[in-house]
Amino acid sequence: MQRRSFEVIEVSGDPDRLPITIRQTNSKLAKIPGLLLMTVLAAAIVLPQLGFAIYALTSPDVRNALARHPVIAVELSLALIFWIGLIIWPLRNILIALISDRFVDIRDGEVKVVDRTPFSTTLWQMPLASFEGVALHNRSSLSGVRQEAVLVHPNRHRSIIVMAAERIGSQELDSLCGMLSLPAVPAGLLYDLGDKPRQSQNAVAA
């Protein structure tokens, strides 16, 4: 499932009628242990290798030895790139999750979404009628299990979390579906791994 997930879902406005505005972020406290762990690993694994690489570039003897054995030089370079990628990529994902957020505005038959990351701000919007319905999804994380009501779109990248709680009852789900004028749909639609949308869509992205 390729939709973006957030840990904190804040709904502004009357939850029983449109319009509603939803702010989605990630818990800073939940991400700090992972950030500290990856930082320690980076210091313990990557920094010594970077130090060796700098020493190799500044030492004539090591440079000459590597020049005589280019295969070893390539192997050492690939190993360095591998370890840097292994540490830096998860660290990058944690930092992006800490800083990124999403604003969802549903009104006048339109769904508008603003995705903000440290590197960009993306706005996209589409008709509310282009969504298939609302699915109840169980999400497990280190902090426990919760239920999410997800606005399901044929393009899995456009599905949106609109409600999250420890438990979402059938009455709450029915009320949400009634407010959005959409049916309840199976959660299995969220796991459609196909690359193409299930039906045509009229998205406007900027």
Q: What is the spatial distance between Cα 153 and Cα 163, in angstroms, rounded to a whole number?
A: 16
- The upper half-sphere exposure of residue 38, i.e. CA atoms within 13 Å in the direction of its Cβ, equals 18
List the one residue out of 113, 115, 145, 140 whose CA is nearest residue 127: 113
Q: What is the spatial distance between Cα 42 and Cα 23, in angstroms, rounded to a whole number?
A: 32
Per-domain boundaries in the chain: 8-26+101-205, 31-98
Q: What is the full per-residue pLDDT of the chain (206 aa) written as tens digits?
A: 344 566 677 787 776 788 889 888 876 555 566 666 667 766 677 777 777 777 777 888 777 777 787 787 787 778 778 777 777 777 776 677 677 888 999 999 999 999 887 777 889 999 999 999 999 988 876 566 888 999 999 888 889 999 888 898 889 999 999 999 999 999 888 776 554 555 544 444 43
Residue 186: cis peptide before it, omega within 30 degrees of 0: no
List the one residue out of 171, 145, 179 whose CA is nearest residue 22: 179
List the one residue out of 54, 186, 92 whose CA is nearest residue 133: 186
Beta carbons of 122 and 100 less than 8 angstroms apart: no
List the one residue out of 171, 198, 172 whose CA is nearest residue 162: 172
Beta carbons of 193 and 173 less than 8 angstroms apart: no
pTM of the predicted model as reported, rounded to 2 decimal places: 0.62
**Alpha helices, DSSP H, located in the chain:** 28-41, 47-58, 60-68, 70-99, 170-180
Total count of residues recorded for the chain: 206
